[in-house]
Amino acid sequence: MSNEINFGPVRFIPGSNSGKYPHSNSLYVEAAGVLIDAGADRAQYKALRSGSEVREVWLSHWHEDHFGCIDLFDDLPLRQMQIEAEPLADLELFLDWYGIRSEEFRVYWRKTLTEDFHFQPRRASSYFVPGEIIDLGSCRVEVIHVPGHTPGNLAFYFLEPEVLFLGDYDLTRFGPWYGDRDSSIELTIASVERLRQIPARVWLTSHEHGIFEEPPGEIFDRYLAVIDEREQKLLEYLRGVPRSLAEIVAQSIVYRKPREPRAFFEWGEAAIMGKHLERLLRAGRIEELHGRYQLLT
């Protein structure tokens, strides 16, 4: 617990392995007893429960690395966005929301979600209203709806300490994730641009070091630039020769090299590249014929 850091009443709880997936960083609002996300470390949460009066759990969004330890708080109220209630309520719907169609991959995800992330069907006790300001006594927090990563993705701005929790707009070198069935590149860009305008003094994120105490202007730029870098590499690969999605995935534009397990990395590569293909088709920059994609000159 010694690595936890307080910013006024807001306590930053770092995830295991520097907050890298499958873990995530959490926040705990002291006195109010509010835990935001539950993907850090089981021992940390057990210590938190024994030493503090946790009263409620909030979810920034529905992804598994943010609820992996939520079973430790099954007796407490849960609050999330109503639009994302469906995947938490049913394992098969969870996989549908990710857009996982391959039965081979679904078998992998059923097992890992149940065994590694302790998935259990769950219904929230209440739902957030975008833009609402919640008075927690020790501070007020503004609920900011920033879709793109997921449809109901949330950031939280703690007004008095001027602390902004960006969640999975995590400013890592990997760049944004927008590969879910209902994710959006355009909304991701718009949401990140909105968040960078908030006059915070501290910026906290869900992954890796996750603490920025100086304005991260250039880091925001670098984070968004990853989207264009991926797209430019894809366009170059499509130049002159029609390519199938399988061929595009084999280029490992997102993950740099083939990795295991395939059900995670091959699916993720296809999910991200699929969003770029959809975007380029809408823009009239590529064409698709019989399942193959080619750059239009």
pLDDT in tens, 7-37: 999 999 999 999 999 999 999 999 999 999 9
- Helix pair 262-282, 103-115: axis angle to 10 deg: 120
Q: What whole-number percentage of the chain has pLDDT above 90?
A: 97
What is the pLDDT, as a whole number, of residue 127? 98
- Report pTM: 0.96
Map out the domains of the chain as residue ranges.
5-215, 232-295
Largest CA distance in the chain: 64
Q: How confident is the model at residue 52 (pLDDT cuts 50, 70, 90)?
A: confident
Cis peptide bond upstream of 151, omega within 30: no
**Arithmetic mean of pLDDT, 158-181:** 98
Torsion sign (Cα): 31, 128, 197, 36: positive
Terminal-to-terminal C-alpha distance of the chain: 57
* Closest by CA position to 218, among listed 202, 196, 201, 233: 196
Which CATH number applies to 5-215: 3.30.930.10, 3.30.1330.10, 3.60.15.10, 2.60.40.3080? 3.60.15.10
Q: For residue range 270-293, what is the model confidence (pLDDT) as tens digits? A: 999 999 999 999 999 999 999 999
